[in-house]
Structures are given as C-alpha cells and as structure tokens.
Structure 1
C-alpha cells in the first residue's frame, strides 16, 4: 500500500483526495491546504466524503514531509506562482518523496520544457532519488494518449489537430480560469498574461515538439495564435457576468509548421454559454465539452472524448478525469527510475490497477 499526501484541495485536488481515500491500495496520510477555512479540518470534509478519515489538513509542508509518504499528489495552482511551486516541489522531491501532479503544465512533456523549470526539478529528483510525473487532460491526455491512439489507426498522416472545445459557463473558477483566459475583460484592457507573446507556445509547445519527434520530423517553427470574441449582449453564468463589450470566448493554439504549412495544431476553443462565438466550433451532439483529435491522413481518423457525471457538471467531471491521470499512475511512478517521467514512459496497462472499488468503499455522491 502506498502512503500518499494530497497537496491542495481545489477544483482538481478535492477529486484526487476522494480517489485516494476510496482506493484500498492507497493510504492517505496527510493533506495540505492553504486557506484558513480549510486548515484544521478532516480531509473528509474537504472532499464530501461520508466518513471521517482522521487526517487533518495543514499548511505545514515540513510536517507533511516528516510523515515520509511514498508519494505526494500535487494539484496546487502553479501557473500563477511558478517559482514558489518549483520551490515546493523541489523541497518534496529532494526529501526523497515521489510526486505526481496536474499543475505546472510546462512539464506535461518534460523533455521539451524550458531549462528554467526543468533543471531545478531534475536536480531535486537527483538529490532525493525521486521521480516526478506531471499530466492532465489538456495539456496531457488529449495531446499525448488520445492522439497516440488516433495515430495508431493511420498508415499515413498529413495533419494532426487536437482540440479542447468547452463551455466554461458553469465552471465556478473566475479567480483563476476566468482571469487567466481573460473572460470579462474589455478589448482596451491590458492583455491577459496567457496571450502575451510566447506564453501559449511555452505551455503547449512541448507536446507539439514531442509529437513531431515521435513522427520523425523536424519542424520549421512552433508558433502560437489567439483570437478573442467580445459579446454585444450581457451574458450571465456561474463563472461570471460578462457585460457588452467584454470577452466571452477565446480560441488559441500552438502550431507546428513544416515546409511552410501547419501540420500539428493544439487548439482551445473556450466560451461562456452557447451564445458566445456562435460561428466557432462546438462539441458534437449537444455536449458541453469535447477533447477531440482529428488525423487527416489515410484513413481520416476522428476521436472524441466526452466526460460526464450523474450529479456534477461536465466541467467538474473534467476535473475528476484530470485527477485520475496522475492518481492512477502513483504505483508505477513510485517504482520508476529517478528523474522526470513522461507519459510515454508509462505502459498504459500499468495505470488501471485499483480502479474497480469494492462496493463497501463506494462514497456518497457529492451534492
């Protein structure tokens, strides 16, 4: 049984926390929380589990390291505080504790990450004899596992398109997702950091380069593009209220160019309600969201992934799947060689162990 610490209990962390508690092959030994309203509370209260765990949330990183867990599940927001997150991760890794995480999206393709983020984490792994694995849905699944599956069905490939198309209207995360994507800002306002030159490319470009290397091609360049849509009408939704003249949709992409043409595209199309950007792509069959791969080749291959839940909104279901991408890999990562782990290092058959819970461990559904 692996001893595990959950680091953060936000939109993704509360779902990984539930998964850790529910699995018989994992033992929750600690929880990190940063908000004063969460510190001192039982882990069960922080993830709607129906029985107390006896594990109390703390913001003391040293105390969690002293528990000597086998693994830390790191889901704390890192994209807005990268240097602080590097320091936290390095401290844990240097202490000899393996880490799986869903934040720090630069590391979804670690061999192609910038030196500024990769090198300190490599050094920490070497110092502690530990391993680090970062993944999620996007960046992550759609740009690696899903596209690899689709490519395996083709004998020739002309272009690859990977898309997240999602309506974020019911996603209660204006503080990070809303602000980072620029929902609710006016065209004359300061440009959100995500759309500054090089930012999108730095986050998703690693997966483009990884795909190119896998295909055995050398790209001319990797570039980004962005387009924002400003609403003429007021839009009210869970995320926020968007007033006329403010941004209610965006599409951005990282593109790999070969011989003057775009051959690999990783694109987001995100909006608040179906009223936003009505001329842009929508998920098929009336779904709220889709992660889609289209291979233009011989034959043409299209794979669409939809996630749902009997109680939660599809955006929350997506957070569960994001958590699953790393929780399911804990056992393998704990046995992995020292250093940075990429998705292609992990046999897919190795990450399904422990997924079928016994009926007596089935939790109540959150409401």
Structure 2
C-alpha cells in the first residue's frame, strides 16, 4: 500500500483526494491546503465524504514530508506561479518523496520542457532518488494516448488533429480559465494572457513536437493561431456572464508545419454555452464536450472521447479524469527510476491496476 499526501483540494484535487480515500491500494496520510478556511479540517469534509478520515489538512510542507509518504499528488495550480510551484515540487523530490500531478502542464512532455523548468526538477530527483510525473486529459490523454491509438489504425498518415471541443459555461473556474482565455473582454482590450505571443506554443507545442518525434517527422516550425468570437447577446452561465460585444468563445491551436502546411495540430474550441460561436464545430450529437483525434490518411480515422457522469457536469467529469491520470500512475512512479517520467515511459497496463474492487 502506498502512503500518499494530497497537495491542494481545488477543482481537480477534490476528486483526486476522494479517489485516494476510496482506493484500497492507497493510504491517505496527509493533505496540504493553502487557505486558512481549509486548514484544520478533515480530508473527508474537504471532498464531500461523510465518514471522517482522521487526516487533517495543514499548510506545513515540512510536516507533510515528516510523514514519510511514498508520493505526493500535486494538483495545486502552478501555471500562474511557476517558480513557486517548481520550488515546492523540488523540495518534495529532494526529500525523497515521489510526485505525481496535474499541475505545470509543460511537464506532460518533460523531454520537451525548457531548461528553466526541467533542470531544477531533475536535480531534485537526483538528490532525493525520486521521480516526477505530470499528466491530465488535455494536455495529456488526447495528445499522448488517444492520438497513438488512432495512428495505429492507419497505414499512412497525412495529417493529425488533436482537439478539445468543450462548452466551458458550467465550469466554475473564471479566476484562472476564464480570465486567461479572456471571456468577457472586448476587442479593444489587451490580448488575453493565454494568447499572448508564444503562450499557446509553450503549453501545447511540446505535444506537437512529441508526436512528431515518435513519427520521425521533421517539422519546419511550430506556430500558434488564435481566433476570438464576440457575442451580440447577453450570455449567462456558471463561469461568468458576458454582455453583447464581449468575448464568449475562442478557437486556438499549436500547429506543426512542413512546407508551411500544418501536419500536426493540437486545437481547442471553447465556448460559453451553445449560443456562442454557432458556426464553429460542436461535439458529435451536440454533446457538451469531447476530446477528438482526426487522422487524415489511409484510412481516415476519427476517435472521440466523451466523458459523462450521473451527477457531475461534463467539465467536472473531465476533472475526475484529469485526477485519474495522476492517481492511476502512483504505484508505477513510486517504483520508477529517479527522474522525470513521461507517459510513454509507463507500460499502458500499469495505468489500470487496482481500478476494480
């Protein structure tokens, strides 16, 4: 049984915490919380369970390290505070604690990550003889698992498109997702943070380059594109309310090009309710969200992954699956050689062990 600490209880962390508590092969030994209103509360209370665990949330990282966990599951938002997140991860790794997580999405393709991000974490892994693995559903599953399943079905590929087509209207994350994508901004406002020059490529370009590496394709360049859509009507939803003239949908991509033609594309189409960008592509059968891979080739292959849940909205179901990509790797990462782990390093069957009980 692996001793695990959950680090944060936000949109993803609340689901990974619940999963850890429920898994017979994992033992929750600690919980990290930043906010004073969560510190001192039982882990069960923080994820909506009724039976107390006796594990009380703390903001003391040294106290969590002293518990000698096998692994910390790191889901705290790091993209808006990367140096602090690197510092926290490195501190854990150097103390000999393995880390799996969903934060710092650049690390989904660690071998493509820039030196400023990769090198301090590699050094910490070496110091603590520990391993670090980061993944999710997007970036993650769609661009490092579904895409290769689709490619295995063709004898020749001409182009590859990996898409997330999602209605974010019911996603309660305006603070990060909403503001970074610019929902509610007007054409005269500054370009949203997520679409500043180089940002899309920094986040999704690693996936493009990784696919090209596995296909032995030499790209001329990886470039980004961004298209905003402004509403002419008021749109109210859980994420936010947008007024006429404000941004209510975005379409953006990182494109790997050869001879100025995109051959590997990682694209997002994100909108606030079905009223936004009605001329843009929707999920099949008007579902609210889908992760899709399209391979133009011999033959043409289209693979769609749709998540659902009897209680949760599809965006929250996506958070559960994002958590699963980390939780399911804990045991293997704890047995892995020291260093940064990529999804391709993990045998696929290792990701499904312990799921049925």
Instruction: Calculate the TM-score normalised by the size of structure 1.
Output: 0.96
Paired position in structure 2 for 1:275: 275
- 1:306 paired to 2:306: yes
Q: Which stretches in structure 2 are left out of the alignment for 5+ residues?
A: none
* RMSD of equivalent CA atoms: 0.7
- Counterpart Cα distance in 2 of 1:260 and 1:34: 46
Matched position secondary structure for 2:80? coil
Write out per-residue CA displacement over residues 250-283 of structure 1, whole angstroms, 9 at most, x where no aligned residue: 0110000012211000000000000101111100
Paired position in structure 2 for 1:203: 203
- Counterpart Cα distance in 1 of 2:245 and 2:123: 47
Write out per-residue CA displacement over residues 139-181 of structure 1, whole angstroms, 9 at most, x where no aligned residue: 0000010101111111100000000000011111111111111
Paired position in structure 2 for 1:329: 329
Shift of 1:246: 0.9
Aligned length: 357
Which 10-residue stretch deviates more, 317-326 or 169-178?
169-178
Paired position in structure 2 for 1:365: none
Q: Which stretches in structure 1 are left out of the alignment for 5+ residues?
A: 358-367
Matched position secondary structure for 2:249? strand
- Counterpart Cα distance in 2 of 1:284 and 1:71: 39
- Counterpart Cα distance in 1 of 2:226 and 2:281: 15
- 1:192 paired to 2:228: no
Shift of 1:341: 0.3
Paired position in structure 2 for 1:291: 291
- Counterpart Cα distance in 2 of 1:20 and 1:262: 41
- Counterpart Cα distance in 2 of 1:187 and 1:334: 48
Paired position in structure 1 for 2:177: 177
- Counterpart Cα distance in 2 of 1:221 and 1:123: 30
Matched position secondary structure for 1:207? helix
Matched position secondary structure for 1:144? helix
Matches within 5 A, 1:44-123: 44-123=44-123
Paired position in structure 1 for 2:9: 9
Paired position in structure 2 for 1:343: 343
Matches within 5 A, 1:230-245: 230-245=230-245
Paired position in structure 2 for 1:161: 161
Shift of 1:95: 0.4
- Counterpart Cα distance in 1 of 2:49 and 2:317: 17
